[in-house]
């Protein structure tokens, strides 16, 4: 065996700079058909007296090469681990990526403000069915089939004769059938009208219905309540105005408006304007009668005849449009995060 074998092997091992390259060198020298193995296999051809010393020499060379190989392998493995750790290192001090965050829908915000006010005034909050029976949406509210008011509320009818409620007033009836007076409730939810959509009309929108029933309730209780609500929403100075109007389920009926203070009024020379927010009135005796009829059918006592009460209904879309200066009702339901994401803040101090 040339004496240079060990030296060449070591030089090759040292210059192998990857584990793969080192494997090639390893096979070349100590593999099954490597150079060392070949030297060993040639021992048999030597005279017996030389065999032993030669065998011992080759073994020393082999061990020498193996030791350098092992060391080189360990150091290459360490280097590759270091490189891996380096490339996978995470700098925990880097600022995080901004994640888009959701926000409450403007309609939800307006509802929250309204419900807070009415909860403070002792009202119970309920929700009810959007798929409704004709009787609760119309008949029991003093709107018989021939009544012209039905034309005001073009209706989505279902194949089974039910309908999508056209207003939350259905909950007046449902609530009174379940509860005895005195009572105060507000009901929130979606309502549907079969009509063409434009900047101020949607086929689906929201309402808040209020109902108070007891003894000796008067129109001034109603006015005081609406004023309280307006001040809660628009600040202590908010003014309300009532104008006679017609709704079959109340008598007398009225529309109420709030004087909306324009925050840029001075600049524009317009301090504000009256904005109609909803309808209201004293509960019609026919509604109480219809409720008692339903109660009687359900085996309950007739407790509403002779009672007095008021009701009101309003649309949060309109309030949100005012508060946020949204020009088109359709923006609320276009599901465009760029639009909805802009509306933040409280309803107070519009
Ligand atoms: N239900 C009416 C509508 O959808 C709103 C309304 C008016 C509700 C007068 C009331 C009320 O409770 O008293 O237009």
Q: What is the 3-state secondary structure of 78-109?
A: HHHHHHHHHHHCCCCCCCCCCCCCCCCCHHHH
Structural tokens at position 127? 């929700």
Range of the domain at 300: 106-347
Average pLDDT over residues 26-45: 87
Q: Are residues 53 and 18 in the same domain?
A: yes
CATH number at residue 334: 3.30.930.10
Residue 101 within any structural domain of the chain: no
Best of 313, 316, 317, 318 for a ligand 1 pocket test (most atoms within 8 Å of beta carbon): 313
Contact 315 CB / ligand 1 (< 6 Å): no
Convert the pLDDT of each residue in 176-214 to its tens digit.
999 999 999 999 999 999 988 998 889 999 999 999 999
Contact 313 CB / ligand 1 (< 6 Å): yes
Convert the pLDDT of each residue in 248-279 to its tens digit.
999 999 999 998 776 665 556 677 788 899 99
Per the structure, the count of domains in the chain is 2
Q: Are residues 83 and 111 in the same domain?
A: no
What is the number of alpha carbons within 13 Å of residue 112 lying toward its C-beta? 10
Confirm if 332 and 326 have CB atoms less than 8 A apart.
Answer: yes
Task: Look at the chain and count its residues.
Answer: 350
Task: Tell me the pTM.
Answer: 0.72
d(CA 171, CA 284) in angstroms, rounded, equals 15
User: What pLDDT is recorded for position 40?
Assistant: 83
Q: Are residues 224 and 338 in the same domain?
A: yes
Phi-psi category of residue 290: left, alpha or beta, with phi > 0 → left and psi -120 to 50 → alpha = alpha
Q: Are residues 239 and 180 in the same domain?
A: yes
Contact 6 CB / ligand 1 (< 6 Å): no
pLDDT band at 346 (very low <50, low <70, confident <90, very high): very low
Q: Are residues 197 and 329 in the same domain?
A: yes
Contact 10 CB / ligand 1 (< 6 Å): no
Q: Are residues 142 and 13 in the same domain?
A: no
Name the residue with tokens 């200066």.
325
Contact 258 CB / ligand 1 (< 6 Å): no
Q: Given the DSSP bridges, would you call strands 183-192 and 124-126 parallel, antiparallel or unpaired? A: parallel
């Amino acid at each position: 065996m040339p004496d240079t074998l060990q030296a060449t092997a070591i030089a090759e091992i040292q210059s192998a700079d990857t584990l793969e390259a080192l494997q090639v060198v390893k096979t070349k020298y100590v593999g099954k058909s490597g150079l060392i193995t070949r030297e060993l296999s040639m021992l048999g051809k030597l005279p017996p007296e030389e065999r032993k010393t030669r065998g011992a020499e080759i073994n020393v060379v082999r061990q020498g090469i193996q030791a350098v190989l092992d060391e080189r392998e360990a150091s290459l493995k360490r280097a590759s681990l270091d490189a891996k750790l380096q490339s996978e290192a995470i700098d925990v001090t880097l600022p995080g990526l901004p994640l888009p965050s959701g926000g409450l829908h403007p309609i939800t915000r307006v509802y929250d403000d309204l419900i807070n006010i009415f909860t403070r005034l002792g009202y119970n909050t309920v929700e009810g069915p959007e798929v409704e029976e004709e009787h609760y949406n119309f008949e029991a509210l003093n709107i018989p089939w021939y009544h012209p008011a039905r034309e005001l509320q073009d209706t989505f009818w279902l194949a089974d004769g039910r309908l999508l409620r056209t207003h939350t007033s259905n909950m007046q009836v449902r609530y009174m059938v379940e509860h005895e007076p005195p009572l105060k409730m507000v009901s929130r939810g979606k309502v549907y009208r079969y009509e063409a959509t434009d900047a101020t009309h949607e086929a689906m929108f929201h309402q808040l219905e209020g109902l108070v029933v007891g003894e000796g309730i008067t129109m001034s209780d109603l006015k005081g309540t609406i004023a309280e609500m307006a001040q809660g929403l628009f600040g202590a100075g908010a003014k309300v105005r009532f104008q006679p109007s017609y709704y079959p389920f109340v008598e007398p009926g009225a529309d109420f408006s709030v004087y909306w203070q324009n925050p840029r009024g001075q600049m524009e020379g317009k301090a504000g304007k009256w904005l109609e927010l909803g309808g209201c009135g004293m509960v019609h005796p026919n509604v109480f009668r219809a409720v008692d009829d339903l109660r009687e059918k359900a085996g309950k006592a007739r407790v509403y005849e002779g009672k007095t009460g008021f009701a009101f209904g309003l649309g949060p879309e309109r309030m949100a449009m005012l508060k946020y200066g949204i020009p088109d009702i359709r923006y609320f339901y276009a599901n465009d995060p760029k639009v909805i994401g802009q509306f933040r803040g409280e309803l107070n101090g519009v």
